[in-house]
Amino acid sequence: MARTIDYGKLMHRAMRSLIQNVLHDIEANGLPGAHHFFITFDTKNPLVQIADWLKTRYPDEMTVVMQHWFDGLKVTDDGFFITLNFGDQPEPLYIPYDAIKTFVDPSVEFGLRFETHDSDEEDDSDEDDDPPPSSPTDKTKGDGQVVQLDRFRKS
């Protein structure tokens, strides 16, 4: 098989790097202005660290909000640690970048969506289909767009 450039994988890496850079800035300087984030991640990812009761409540995916109160933000090369409040109960979390499904900042109508595939050998039969319907986190104020790159990637 001929060698090809995997643009989808390169774009995912670049988008995760963008998230890492944004979080590094927040770690150093705090959230500016009205910025806040909705971060949806795969709770089945083996590197995700969340309390057992959260894992039971959100067995597949979970959306967290970084806005008014968060603590202990520590950004690493592979993910980030953060403590968030769940009903007045602070809980530490570790979210690897590879587990992130969506990253949305509704204050500036910015969003990223990471599509995953079970296999690299999927057929291209649905290549021209419309993208999947928006998730609840995409229904933020305004008409911001979520970037979906896998639509343009050949398997």
Complete edge-to-edge strand list for the sheet that includes strand 100-105 = 61-66, 37-42, 100-105, 110-113, 145-147
DSSP designation for 49: B
Average pLDDT over residues 121-139: 39
For tokens 């660290």, name the residue: 49
pLDDT band at 97 (very low <50, low <70, confident <90, very high): very high
Architecture of the structural domain at 7-121+134-152: Roll (2.30)
Give the helix/strand (H/E) hosting 53. helix 52-57
Q: What is the pLDDT of residue 155?
A: 47
Look at residues 118, 154, 148, 116 and name the one whose alpha carbon lies nearest to residue 133: 148
pLDDT band at 2 (very low <50, low <70, confident <90, very high): confident
Please provide the average confidence, as pLDDT, over all residues in the chain. 79
Q: pLDDT by residue (tens digit) across 17-73?
A: 999 999 999 999 999 889 999 999 999 999 999 999 999 999 999 999 999 889 999
Domain range annotation of the chain? 7-121+134-152
Q: Which two tokens stand for residue 5?
A: 């450039």
Q: pLDDT by residue (tens digit) across 111-128?
A: 889 876 443 334 343 444
Which pTM was predicted?
A: 0.70
Q: What is the pLDDT of residue 1?
A: 72
CB 45 within 8 A of CB 96: yes
Q: What is the pLDDT of residue 116?
A: 64
